[in-house]
Amino acid sequence: MNTFDTIRAIRWQDDNLVLIDQRCLPLREETIVCTQVADAIEAIRDMVVRGAPAIGITSAFAVVLAVRERYRQYGDQWQQHIEDDLQRLSEARPTAVNLGWAIAEMRQQFANLGAGDPVPQLLQHAQLIHQQDIDANQTMGRLGSALIDSGTHVLTHCNTGSLATGGYGTALGVIRSAYQAGRIEGVYADETRPWLQGSRLTAWELVQDRIPVSLIADSAAAYLMRQGQISWVIVGADRIAANGDVANKIGTYSTAISARYHQVKFMVVAPTTTVDMSIAQGAHIPIETRSATELLECNHQRFAAEGSSAWNPVFDVTPAELIDAIVTEKGVVMQPDSVKIAQMMSS
């Protein structure tokens, strides 16, 4: 790891999956040890781990845990008993396409397994998926950084760093690379309601790597742009449709609208595993809605008026026409549309 790449949230250690519990940050650094597939499913569902690439990598290791359990129970007949595990895993979070992609990747390995214990070969493939994500993030970091003029500040939304990926990060990977190259002076981070991924996680990551960061309320982004303080908004993605529409953390869409009005450029950084060519446009992306209590309570203490309800979509969709650049490990797509996305994916 270099000076600006010091965090790994997902590890295979002592024959188990170890995850940084992101619910505890930044107050405490705690880990969760997953010894069974049910542990990993719960970790994904309950936000121990979050971020599309990190969910995908966790899912790959979760398949290893599931196969290990079923092989111990049923020996060479394990494949006849694995489907319920994989179905429950696939339903843990519906919007992040990386989850289903990782399960499919691991499932493809089943046909290539020899006789005996399948776990070592499957573990090797999960570790390869993990390393490929880190390598892709570093490539995206270089490509995205090259788009940024020197001496500027940028704005990011949610958390897209090492905590949300295998390591280094997507949007934060670009920010890390740009800061190391002297292209940016500092970062503004939206706090990102209601889970506060920006204030709890993004700020924590940047402080760890000594990159200057200032938090703002989500609703302050447009006024910040009006002051001329930033040149780019840089975000990640949980799913990208075939036409370039992007599903990302709730609040991304309004930030993109503000950016276009104020002539601030808007960059989406995500691996090609996040591109879902089976979905023509963003309107068809399933959007997860979580419990109203996430908006009505804080630390299990209700602060909203009794009797009020809440609508809590976790993601929104930013249309491709509001996006200046999509950066993947395969290259940069400027002013994305369905033709350009198809060309990038086939390269």
Predicted confidence (pLDDT) at residue 3 exceeds the cutoff of 80: no
Instruction: For the full predicted model, state whether its pTM sits above 0.85.
Output: yes
Q: What is the pLDDT of residues 91-138, one digit of tens each?
A: 999 777 899 999 999 999 999 898 899 999 999 999 999 999 999 999
Which pLDDT score is estimated for 1? 62
Do 327 and 268 touch, CB atoms closer than 8 A? yes
Please give the Cα distance from 341 to 269 (Å, whole number): 14
Please give the Cα distance from 158 to 171 (Å, whole number): 10
Report the catalytic residues. 238
Q: What is the pLDDT of residues 71-82, one digit of tens each?
A: 999 999 999 999
Predicted confidence (pLDDT) at residue 25 exceeds the cutoff of 90: yes
Is pLDDT larger for residue 255 or for residue 301?
Answer: 255
Angle 209-56-131 from CA coordinates, rounded to 5°: 55
Q: What is the pLDDT of residues 281-306, one digit of tens each?
A: 999 999 999 999 999 998 789 999 99
- What is the per-residue burial (b if ≥16 Cβ within 10 Å, else e) of 49-79? bbbbbbbbbbbbbbbbbbbbbbbeeeeeebb
Residue ranges of domains in the chain, CATH in brackets: 10-135 (1.20.120.420), 140-346 (3.40.50.10470)
Q: How many CB atoms lie within 10 A of CB 185?
A: 14
Which pLDDT score is estimated for 88? 97
Predicted confidence (pLDDT) at residue 217 exceeds the cutoff of 80: yes
Q: Grade residue 247 by pLDDT with cuts at 50, 70 and 90.
A: very high
Pair of tokens at residue 205: 């990551």
Please give the Cα distance from 332 to 273 (Å, whole number): 15
